[in-house]
Chains A and B, each alone.
Chain A
């Protein structure tokens, strides 16, 4: 993943429209580095699958260029692109055994019988399914089918593998297990993966970088930690992780900081990320674990009176819903440490937070 290397895939000003009226993908610019695990994350309908389909060659781009290893591939047929793909429903060929499914990409490449057997055996070992070679896909469990699908996309050793919500059909436990397995395969093979999901925790667990999609636009492209801790805009702050949102007006700006007036509650000191002009509206984003209950005097610039509305005991922390600044759904995660404040439902409480943890962003209107 050296900076000097040319990216494996480039989307250059790519646009896509299915009906000639609405742009499903609006001006996409994206570089995927060699060996990277890049995830496209976004709500349903945000254009992730469309991007993947354009890369795989099943949908033409309406405008712009896609390059693979520096070569434009807009006019290359899908079967000549050499890109592995894992589909959401796995698309395992039902009339072939697992072995035949895995041998298919090798057979169409006219590989020799012994080579095919060796390679198929290798991927079967990799996904721990050596005993299932003669079974039909319908005789496998969901997790096993999923592994065969991954193995099939890898068996012909493509340098790029695309996965479109491959774990969407699995239950939670299996999904988490498969996340690690796919991650390990990626690391041990060094293959480049472009992964699509609408599950933010999946994206954060697996990826080197995450591209957050909304409305056909990449909202932010960053590593998982940056994405969580430093969201660029209100959509990302809300879509990824839990988030307290306070709406106010920008009163003043100085350097990186700004002062925001929450109507009826007072002044909040915040980090000016994307707050807009003085006098305009801004939405403040604050992670629940960055809020302290009953802070010591003078520790934080932002301290507010509130009232405990609800307590949920979750073992390692206590999820506390507080009414603060006129918002009923302000969440505080109180860590379950030995001397944590004792909270009682209905009692008044003080909450405080740092200015740098409170990011002043644009106002995102939910559609």
Chain B
């Protein structure tokens, strides 16, 4: 207090500078130190995580192909009213673009892009590109209309015009099972062509089921771990952590060995006469396989937060509840369980978020009805090479996880959670 002088409203330090300012100065060193400590990790995260995410999200709306590779057509189509096929000037522009694109071997990209919106357009563009090289003079409209019958279709032109815009919602519409109809209105896809909505729902449902099973399996184990004397609980902890020390692939293949129709479990069932030999249970390459294998893999992520919370709960709470007249059941439910709530929530978030984006296990043991949205994303990344759609699906997945997290946070409060 001695060297603190009150000067007007501002509290001054001994040397006359405002106390706030000299405090800031004193803190700056600490702040710089903290900044330097986090820099390496921060840079790593920026390059390995943030930039790829931004990049993928950008791809999900990016629509450069038509505008860049067919600039003349784009300009010519700007004034088109869309009521009837365009006039000669548009076709003149189109032929130049086709010729330039075909020479540069770039025109296929336009085809691929347009094909996402309406199938058959890739063929039309590549064929016309090749043929355009032979066209020397006009009138071009007639010649182009002969190159492919789809040029006569008004919808083709609607699609091209729509995609002259540099950004598109097309991938997102696709990702939620919607599309533009002939007249350019946004509508749901036909019932039998809706894939992703169902897949999202299934992913959420499976993740929810896995989370629930994990809670039910992990709770008793964590309780045992937290209450057992140290020498036993250490041993048990090793068993819980064992999965972490084995390769994911090994664990998943082990489940294949266990669960396949000629596998250990089915052999046992047949041996004990529970099922007949020609009627073996299908336990893998379906939903069951995905749930069993993923539960096994994610269980430690539930056990650890639960254990760390339970470890801090003194046994005297239970004793107190009993001494106050609650029977052991009531004491457990009313006094013990509420105190573990933060652990349950933390574990559930962890398991749910991990399973919602899980890829390798469902890919190996999921069959057709046990695959998740991430498998579709991988398919579009690696097989169909529709990165825009993959980006849109990924962005939707990411934002739904974030939304869930925010809701959880609202209900429980992140401060109340303890991870591991």
Chain A residues close to B by CB (< 8 Å): 56-58, 77-85, 87-89, 91, 93-95, 104-105, 108-109, 152-153, 156
Contacts and interface: CB of A to CB of B under 8 A. Distances in A.
A93 B328 contact: no
A87 B320 contact: yes
Contact of B325 (A79, A89, A94): A79
B320 to A, nearest CB: 4
Contacts of A152: 324
B53 interface: no
Contacts of A88: 316
A168 B85 CA distance: 92
B320 A85 contact: yes
Contacts of B321: 93, 104
B342 to A, nearest CB: 10
Given A79-B325, A84-B323, A85-B323, A91 B330 contact: no
B335 interface: yes
B320 A79 contact: no
B314 A89 contact: yes
Contacts of B339: 93-95
Given A56-B323, A58-B319, A58-B322, 19 more contacts: A56-B319, A78-B322, A79-B322, A79-B325, A79-B326, A81-B323, A87-B320, A88-B316, A89-B316, A91-B319, A93-B321, A95-B338, A104-B324, A104-B326, A104-B334, A108-B325, A109-B325, A156-B324, A156-B325
Interface of B: 314, 316-317, 319-328, 330-331, 334-335, 338-339, 341
Contacts of B323: 56, 78-79, 81, 83-85, 153
A152 B322 CA distance: 13
A114 to B, nearest CB: 20
A79 B317 contact: no
Nearest to A152: B324
Nearest to B314: A89
Closest 4 CB pairs of A and B: A91-B320, A105-B324, A85-B323, A91-B316
7 contacts: A56-B319, A77-B322, A88-B316, A91-B314, A95-B339, A104-B334, A105-B326
A83 B334 CA distance: 20
A105 B330 CA distance: 11
A87 to B, nearest CB: 5
Contacts of A94: 339
Contacts of A77: 322, 327-328
**Residue among A89, A91, A108, A156 with the highest chain B CB neighbour number at 10 A:** A91
B324 A108 contact: yes
A88 B339 CA distance: 20
B327 A93 contact: no
Given A79-B331, A91-B314, A94-B339, A108 B320 contact: no
Contact of B327 (A79, A89, A105): A79
A156 B323 CA distance: 11
A339 B314 CA distance: 58
A109 B330 CA distance: 11
Contact of A108 (B317, B330, B338): B330
A49 B323 CA distance: 15
